[in-house]
Amino acid sequence: MVNQEKEKAFINLRNVVKRFEGQGGVFTALNDINLNISSGEYVGIVGKSGCGKTTLLNTICGIDRPTSGEIVVDQKLIQSFTESQMAVWRGKNIGVVFQFFQLLPTLSVLENVMLPMDFCNTFPIKERKKRGLLLLKKVCVEEQADKFPSSLSGGEQQRVAIARALANEPQIIVADEPTGNLDSRTAGMVFEIFDRLVAEGKTVLLVSHDRDIAKRVNRCITLADGKIIDDIQVNKQARKDNGEVL
């Protein structure tokens, strides 16, 4: 039964350990993580600061390589990639959304969104501008296309960052504290975008220190000291029937 589940898993972590060495010695950020995530799941990863949330996300993205264990994404053992192979694979298959937006200040909003297409050469050059504008329209900031990021609000910049993450039509969207710098109303607008992406079939992984993320996702994984201590399915329909606001 376990082997069948692993075969079906879109993202599969097997006995993953990640250690970092520093002046204070060796720190174990992930301690024997076993995790299966299916295609199209909406997963929240929560826990206190330093529990390993971001490291877990980074290992799935190939930003950090595990000290031991295996990470298989879409039947590919990703830690076997070279750095150049990893960069190309990540650019085509994973869209990353950061807490601090990470938009290039010297490029226009549209140019920021087109950048992943240019890097991975995923769409014909003549089609990239049109696609960039469509993605900005998808997140409701198309009127900001020719502006520089500094002239946008935080919520607008995060929506641009999501559009950029979607540039190469990735299968997986990962977001590390995507609403950490936003007010509750703006955060709600960003979550609505993630909701729509899941409805379209994307696999979405959200990292947050706020356990209220469980109200938004379909599955909530809790980390503590580098280990998974809780992994629950969230029945959003039942919560709606009980009158909860999601």
The per-residue pLDDT for range 62-105, each reduced to its tens digit, is 999 999 999 999 999 998 999 999 999 999 999 999 878 889 99
Please list, residue by residue across 30-66, b when 16 or more beta carbons sit within 10 angstroms of its beta carbon and e when fewer do: bbebebbbeeebbbbbbbeeebbbbbbbbbbbbebeb
- Contact assessment for residue 66 and residue 35, using Cβ atoms and an 8 Å cutoff: no
Phi, psi torsion values for 15, nearest 5 degrees: 50, 45
Asked whether the CA dihedral 44, 46, 49, 52 is positive or negative, the reply is negative
The pLDDT of residue 236 is 55
pLDDT above 70: residue 3? no
Average pLDDT, the chain: 89
The pLDDT of residue 235 is 62
CA distance 85 to 82: 5
CA distance 190 to 24: 38
Encoding tokens for residue 212? 């209220």
* pTM for this entry: 0.87
Concatenated DSSP letters for 106-172? Answer: TS-HHHHHHHHHHHHT-S-HHHHHHHHHHHHHHTT-GGGTTS-GGGS-HHHHHHHHHHHHTTT--SE
CA distance 244 to 191: 17
The pLDDT of residue 181 is 79
The per-residue pLDDT for range 105-155, each reduced to its tens digit, is 999 999 999 999 999 999 999 999 999 999 999 999 999 999 999 999 999
Which own/partner pairs from 147-153 qualify as long-range (CB within 8 Å, at least 24 positions apart)? 147/108, 147/109, 148/105, 148/106, 148/107, 148/108, 148/109, 149/101, 149/103, 149/104, 149/105, 149/107, 149/109, 149/112, 150/105, 152/109, 153/186
Percent of the chain scored above 70 by pLDDT?
92
- Contact assessment for residue 205 and residue 46, using Cβ atoms and an 8 Å cutoff: no
- Average pLDDT on 204-208 reads 93
Topology given in CATH for the domain delimited by 40-65+87-241: Rossmann fold (3.40.50)
The domain locations on the chain are: 40-65+87-241
Encoding tokens for residue 68? 């031991």
The pLDDT of residue 242 is 45
